[in-house]
Amino acid sequence: MPARSNSGNSQPRWLFPFVVSVVFMLSALPLGRLAYTGVVSSLKGDMWPLLRDSALWDAVLNTLSTSFLGMVISLAIGTSFALALTLCNIRGKSILSFLFMLPMMIPPQVTALSWIGMTGPSSTLLKAIGLAPPLGSPQPLYSIAGIALLLGVQHAPLVYLSLRAGLLALPQDGIEAAKLSGASSWQVLKHIILPLAMPGLIAGAAISFVSGVGNFGIPAILGIPASIFTLPTLIYSRFSSFGSSTFGDIAMLSGMIAIISVLGLAIQERAMKGRDYRIIGLSGKAATFTLGPWRGLVETALWLGIFLMLVAPLMALVSSSLAPAYGVPLSLKTASLHAYEEILFRQAVTRTAFANSLFLATATSICLLVVTILTAYFLVRGKSRFMFLLSALVDIPYALPGVVISVSYVLLFAAPIPLLGVTLYGTLWIILLAYFSSFFAVSLKPMVSAFTQFDPALEEAARLAGAGFWRRMFDIILPLVGPAAGASVILVFLIACNELTVSALLWSAGTQTLGVVIYNLDDSGSFNLASALSVLVVIMVVVLMLLLELLGAKLPKGVVPWRN
């Protein structure tokens, strides 16, 4: 097979154009189409009526308010758990870390439904225990504060992961030296640990803010009933009321979301500028602070936090799914599996959604794995001057909110494909392509980690012995990166199967996904059916996370985020 040699490493000649073509199709083309539509609409003057619309600036203010407040909440929760579970002699760290990650893995619309079922006068759970507020009381979550609270809970694990990575890299010898010099635990934390871990804290805050800007499920379920619109839900509303200027408006609105997200990341870079964080000494195992008599109190606080953020909302979700109707008190006499029977055996739309989501998640995870194995091989082994640009183009769609990606694909495929005359809009295929763009980076990360740890000497020896590229790939490379490949498939399947933000604008009759059906059931007033379907989704999420946990020992460091 024709090949070129790069410093002792042989790659087939077709690999570079293949990777460039994939990145162009999944990143540059749809985002370029979005930018083109926004620029053309602006030049035509469509921008001015939009900018004069008070609904736009209300949505911008709501987006910034909920994202910022959610970031503050996620910082408080994530930092507390990261410091306690990483630095202190807490018992049951692995279980606590696993449970703390669950809110991030559970779809945002399910999180919103579970918290609605836990609060307010119609709460089945609160009625069962006699703590429900009086009928007619407002639902406290239908507010800016309610949206921000759930964004904070959902994104706290992002802060936890980012800060924890920095804490694990701290030098033990420097901390021990400070202790031997008489520094108290508080002084060590204040003057050594927190300054050195500040990059992780700032990065976690930025990721939390950007994630809040692009979140659709929580603002849709909590905000729309109270006429509180954020930019993603405003796009959804404008898209639903289709008009002559719809495409231009949603392109410009998507551009505003992208600008806010980029500004959030730019502020992170600005906050880091001028700070020089260098670690000298041994790291990799976090320092441990002995809590002494305070350990029981801290452990109680951590488990109480898990109960309030995860267990209690899920109990409310299960209670709502077992009640014959939303708001009916749950008891042994009223408890029923009717909602599960309805969604599993009588509702055709839920069966369609299960089939669609399973197909899309399976196809996305497997097809992306094939592509990302070759892409990761090229990015790690290659020497192209375009490597940085390619890596950036892969990351951009994942960094942007899902609604921006969905809008770009609407614009790209709203009309029939030239020459072919085939229309993808309104089919599963446009959702599949959008998933490819959104989750490319998720699939790629475990593979890049695996190739980075894989010694190329084995492959080079096989090449010198005459083995071609595909022979080396199947006999040497794939067996070594197999565990990471399995983790990649599970991670992408887990995210894609429950996704709502991307598919919210792309679905049509017959192409509904699980996320879309859960949202539509709640929107139509079938709260108990939405709760029952959500319970099944949570069970699936937990099972897949347990599979990742079982694979964790064989995976490169960092692939399974909650493992040490």
Max CA separation in the chain (angstroms):
79
pLDDT of residue 77: 96
Tens of pLDDT, residues 33-44: 888 888 888 777
pLDDT tens figures, 418-451:
777 788 888 999 999 999 999 998 888 888 877 8
Is 1 a member of any domain?
no
Cβ contact 221:522 at 8 Å: yes
Residue at 2 is within a domain? no
Residues 23 and 63 in one domain: no
Q: Are residues 308 and 290 in the same domain?
A: yes
For residue 21, what pLDDT band results from cuts at 50, 70 and 90? very high
Q: What is the 3-state secondary structure (H, E, C) of 354-403?
A: HHHHHHHHHHHHHHHHHHHHHHHHHHHHCCCCCHHHHHHHHHHHHHCCHH
Neighbouring C-beta atoms of residue 417, cutoff 10 Å:
11
User: Which residue, 272, 304, 336, sits at the end of a domain?
Assistant: 336
Residue 314 and residue 352 share a domain: no
The answer to the question of residue 562 being in a domain is: no
**Cα–Cα distance for residue pair 18/191, rounded to 1 Å:** 50
> Do 382 and 273 belong together in one domain?
no
CB atoms within 10 A of CB 279: 12
**Does residue 98 lie in a domain region?**
yes
On the question of pLDDT at 529 being above 80, the answer is: yes
Residue 14's pLDDT band, with cuts at 50, 70 and 90, is confident
Q: Could you say which of 303, 336, 369 is where a domain stops?
A: 336
Residues 339-364: pLDDT tens digits?
899 998 888 899 999 999 999 999 99
Shared domain check, 170 and 39? no
Within this chain, do residues 98 and 204 fall inside the same structural domain, yes or no? yes
The whole-number pLDDT of residue 60 equals: 93
DSSP letter, residue 245: T
Quick check: 305 pLDDT over 90?
yes
Distance, CA of 215 to CA of 150 (rounded, Å): 11
Whether 114 is covered by a domain: the verdict is: yes
- Categorize the per-residue pLDDT at 2 as very low, low, confident or very high, splitting at 50, 70 and 90: very low
* Residues in the chain, total: 564
Predicted TM-score (pTM) of the model is 0.84
pLDDT at 6: 44
List the domain range (segments joined by +) for residue 400.
14-52+338-557
In a domain, 563, yes or no: no
pLDDT at 467: 81
pLDDT the model gives residue 8: 44
| Residues paired with 289 in a beta bridge | 88
- Read off the CATH number of the domain in which 160 is found: 1.10.3720.10
pLDDT band at 499; cut points 50, 70, 90: confident
Is 359 found in the same domain as 300?
A: no
Task: Summarize pLDDT for 363-420 with one digit per residue, the tens.
Answer: 999 999 999 999 988 888 777 677 778 877 888 888 777 888 888 998 888 888 877 7
Q: Which pLDDT does position 7 carry in this prediction? A: 41
Same domain for 127 and 25, yes or no, is: no
On whether both 174 and 315 belong to a single domain, the answer is yes
pLDDT classification of 557: cutoffs 50, 70, 90? low
Whether residue 89 is found in the same domain as residue 156? yes
Instruction: Extract the tokens encoding 131.
Output: 């703590």
Q: Per-residue pLDDT tens for 326-340?
A: 767 777 888 889 889
pLDDT in tens, 252-262: 888 888 888 88
Query: Is residue 246 located within the same domain as residue 369?
Result: no
Residue 278 — very low, low, confident or very high, per pLDDT cuts 50/70/90? low
Q: Is residue 547 part of a domain?
A: yes
The reported pLDDT for the residue numbered 5 is 41
Number of domains in the chain: 2
Identify the domain boundary among 336, 362, 385.
Answer: 336
Task: Please check whether residue 74 lies inside any domain of the structure.
Answer: yes
64's tokens: 């910034």
465 and 360 inside one domain: yes
